[in-house]
Amino acid sequence: MFPGDQMGALFRGLGISHVVTVPDSTLGQWEAGIEQHGLQLIRVCREGEAWAVAAGLHLGGAHPLVMIQCTGLFESGDSLRNALHDWKLPIPSIIGYRSYLNQDTLPGDTCLAYTEPILRAWELDYKLITAPAQFSEIAEHLRGYQEALQPRVILIAEGKA
């Protein structure tokens, strides 16, 4: 939906310093564009790590963003809970919403059933992005996350799994 260069420029404009990530077929395509804008990519082995690495970066004065697929959101709940709710660290994230745009190609993908209820259960302030015309809404939603002390999430609709 968006090229990596566009996302890298957006993150740079928001003051993001590090992107902590496990790639999927959509988010992984952004890596080169993100690095092109001088942000450091931190590739971790599993998504639970991502929140903790981001927490350490934040505590050290950096401005990390977590970028993972919704499957990784499911996996990483306890780590997310600790960083965002116990310690109240305002770490923003981009979550890829698997199969949202191709619901015919993977009928019955349970990501469609559980992603948004889980985001609501974790009390995360999320914005669903389903079309390129919504690009400006990403920055609008994430801007000011540090001052607001709110962990804000962009949920990016994706195509085939």
Partner 1 sequence: MSRAPLVDALRALHALRRADDVVISAMGAAREWMALGTHPLDWVFVPSSMGQATSLGMGLALARPDRRIIVLNGDGGLLMNLGSLVTISAYAPPNLVILLFDNGVYEVTGAQPTPAAPTGRVRGDAIDFAALARASGLSSVFHFRGLEEWARELPAVLAAPGPTIAVLDAAPVPHAKGPRSPGPAPERARRFMAALAGRDR
Question: Diameter of the chain by CA atoms?
Answer: 45
**Residue type at 24?**
D
Closer residue to partner 1 in complex, CB, 44/119:
44
Q: Is 18 an interacting residue with respect to partner 1 (CB under 8 A)? A: yes
Q: Is 45 an interacting residue with respect to partner 1 (CB under 8 A)? A: yes
Q: Binding to partner 1 (CB under 8 A): which residues in 61-90?
A: 61-62, 64, 78-79, 81-83, 86-89
What are residue 102's phi and psi, to 5 degrees? -130, 60
What is the x/- site pattern for partner 1, positions 95-114, by CB under 8 A?
--------------------
The span from the CA of 31 to the CA of 28, in Å, is: 6
Nearest by Cα to 158 from 62, 46, 26: 26
The span from the CA of 117 to the CA of 109, in Å, is: 15
Can you give the binding site for partner 1, defined by CB under 8 A?
18, 20, 40, 42-46, 48-49, 51-62, 64, 78-79, 81-83, 86-89
